[in-house]
Structure 1
Amino acid sequence: MPNRSEVQVITPGLLRDWALPVPVGGKESRGTVLVIGGSRFTPGAVLLAGVAALRAGAGVLQLAAAESTAATLSIQVPEALVVGLPETADGAVAADQDGQLGELVAAADVVALGPGLKGIDETTRLLDLVLEAAEPRTPLVLDAYALGALSHEPKLLVGSGRPVVLTPNVTEAGHLLGRDPGDDLGSEAAELAERYEAVVSLYGHVAAPDGRGWREESGDAGLGTSGSGDVLAGLLTGLLSRGAEPAQAACWGAFAHAVSGQRLIPRYGRIGFLARELLDEIPRTLATV
């Protein structure tokens, strides 16, 4: 794979030489994914991330979201175990230190935290709970409000050796950096990867803490739509569940996310497709690399 500090373009050829693990056996061989998120008013984020994880190949899906949304989510995603979590008065998911969540985190093969969460204090408590309950080598995907929580505790992952992927947008990258990002998002991703000791996927730029870097060039304006980031976070989670290592999952995920959008352009135009329409394109995109 690429040498330190060498940025490579993510192409089908590069991915073929970095093939994803091929699961054998039943669904357990493809791992159990736990997605934690979804406030009372944003349950769709958990749905998008969870279904994306399944489309990327995860074997078992569990969703943990605001209690008031759990019944609806269980109907919308019948493939998933759905657990309702306590809510604050304004509908944010509350960290239940003595509840079922810690057991689910401990048993999961990959945990995604952030899609659809709100409330930085509650999210910080959730992040602490996840880090305490998860096995030391359990991969984590941190997205949305979980990134804001991490920016408040920037040393939380340093020295842990835990496999983590961060999926910030430009605004969230600014919180993590403590300043407005510059135009060179590749350099910004590299700085974040080094600072937080995690793989970073930032608008098609992937950086690893060891200095390796990659760039995806297929992404188009249509990916800048509501829910698209939730799909990417779930896609990465599913790839990790299959056994990919963090940088590999981030590169394959960036490519599959972008090319799935390209596949929708003939039907909907460059900016007319919806995030949920990306989901059905993911397996085909992965299969045709």
Structure 2
Amino acid sequence: MSQIIDLPLVKRLQRPSHSDKDGRGRVLVIGEGLDAAGALLLSGTAALRTGARELQIAAPPGLAASLGVAVPEARIIPLDEALAGAAAQSDAVVVGASSTAEDGRPTRQFALAPGGAAYLLMAPAMTGLKPAEAQAFGGRLVLLASLAEMAALRGRGQDEVLSEPLEIAREVAAAYQAVVIMNDRDSQIVGADGRAWQTAGNVAALATGGSGDVLAGIIAGLMARGFAPVDAAVIGAYLHGRAGWRLSHDVGSVGFLARELLEEIPLVMTDLSTAQTLPGSL
């Protein structure tokens, strides 16, 4: 049923810096609403920690100054209909928190641009998403949602999704021609072709506010580095889980913060660069 991560693929995480710069790419993270600042910071920083070369954050004017100070490595751009131009110059785009425009149109409609950018939509950006709209992304789409959020997307009961998580994830992936990550204690990752992976035994403390934003940024950083969306999703989920595992041993099994995951990301990648086998499981 489940696929195994390819170790040589994982070892691409730590290519020599002198040959990696041109392949590390640019990430654009988009969020609306004054409540989006934390999510934008977490996703954007996670993308940089995973090795993206450049970061742009599209945010409301009221957040520009604070985000510029909090993430000085990022270029802060206005949140308007110029998003398509910014997306066209990016390698990976995250459409995340509070992502419905004032006129009711999802920001994803402004952000979709021709070209080769890969996209990750978090649950708020998936509101009203139709299969035909998702298919317009040309297979360059990752959908990241909880079990409850996935149930709402498909108009299914949460109990039904809980009883058949893999089947529901495969249904969504096929219908939307997208990579699906359905988050729970054991997360389901499914490609549009039906291949499936499952994280096993994630630490309970990963179920904390902002953890999903970190995962989104990790996946975006990997896509910006040239990993295919399905590979970025699988490896990203694995890195996220290992970062949580490290913190659970250093800080405690509960009580660590999502922002503390950020500093663990490059350490986990360094550990994996010399690993003969993959610790943990997926």
The yes-or-no answer on 1:268 pairing with 2:251 is yes
- Residue of structure 2 in register with 1:128 after alignment: 109
Q: Deviations over 1:72-96 (max 9, x none)?
A: 00000010001132xxxxxxxxxx3
Match of 1:201 among 181, 184, 192: 181
Contact 1:55 1:282 in 2 (8 A): yes
- Counterpart CA distance in 2 for 1:265 and 1:221 is 9
Contact 1:140 1:165 in 2 (8 A): yes
Relative to its length, the structure with more helix (as a share) is: 2
- Residue of structure 2 in register with 1:16 after alignment: 7
- Residue of structure 2 in register with 1:210 after alignment: 193
Contact 1:15 1:252 in 2 (8 A): no
The yes-or-no answer on 1:157 pairing with 2:134 is yes
Residues 266 and 254 of structure 1: CA distance in aligned 2, closer, same or farther (over 3 Å): same
- Residue of structure 2 in register with 1:178 after alignment: 155
- Residue of structure 1 in register with 2:70 after alignment: 76
- Residue of structure 2 in register with 1:89 after alignment: none
Contact 2:100 2:125 in 1 (8 A): no
- Counterpart CA distance in 2 for 1:63 and 1:185 is 33
- Counterpart CA distance in 1 for 2:31 and 2:114 is 16
Amino acid paired to 1:192: V
Amino acid paired to 1:173: M
- Residue of structure 1 in register with 2:41 after alignment: 47
- Residue of structure 2 in register with 1:111 after alignment: 93
Q: Deviations over 1:148-204 (max 9, x none)?
A: 242xx3321236523111111122111222112233322221111111100011122
Instruction: Report percent identity of matched pairs.
Output: 38
- Residue of structure 2 in register with 1:93 after alignment: none
Amino acid paired to 1:179: R
- Counterpart CA distance in 1 for 2:208 and 2:101 is 23
Residues 160 and 77 of structure 1: CA distance in aligned 2, closer, same or farther (over 3 Å): closer
Contact 1:124 1:149 in 2 (8 A): no
Contact 2:49 2:263 in 1 (8 A): yes
Residues 35 and 170 of structure 1: CA distance in aligned 2, closer, same or farther (over 3 Å): same
Alpha-carbon shift at residue 139 of structure 1 (Å): 0.6
Contact 2:31 2:59 in 1 (8 A): yes
Amino acid paired to 1:191: E
Contact 1:147 1:172 in 2 (8 A): no
Residues 50 and 257 of structure 1: CA distance in aligned 2, closer, same or farther (over 3 Å): same
- Counterpart CA distance in 2 for 1:201 and 1:174 is 13
- The runs of 5 or more residues in structure 1 that have no matched partner are 1-5, 86-95
Amino acid paired to 1:61: L
Contact 1:121 1:149 in 2 (8 A): no
- Counterpart CA distance in 2 for 1:24 and 1:175 is 46
- Counterpart CA distance in 1 for 2:104 and 2:233 is 23
Q: Deviations over 1:39-76 (max 9, x none)?
A: 21231100000000011110100000111001100000
- TM normalised by structure 1 equals 0.84
Amino acid paired to 2:236: G
- Residue of structure 2 in register with 1:248 after alignment: 231
The yes-or-no answer on 1:169 pairing with 2:146 is yes
- Residue of structure 2 in register with 1:92 after alignment: none
Amino acid paired to 1:112: V
Secondary structure of the structure 2 residue equivalent to 1:52: helix
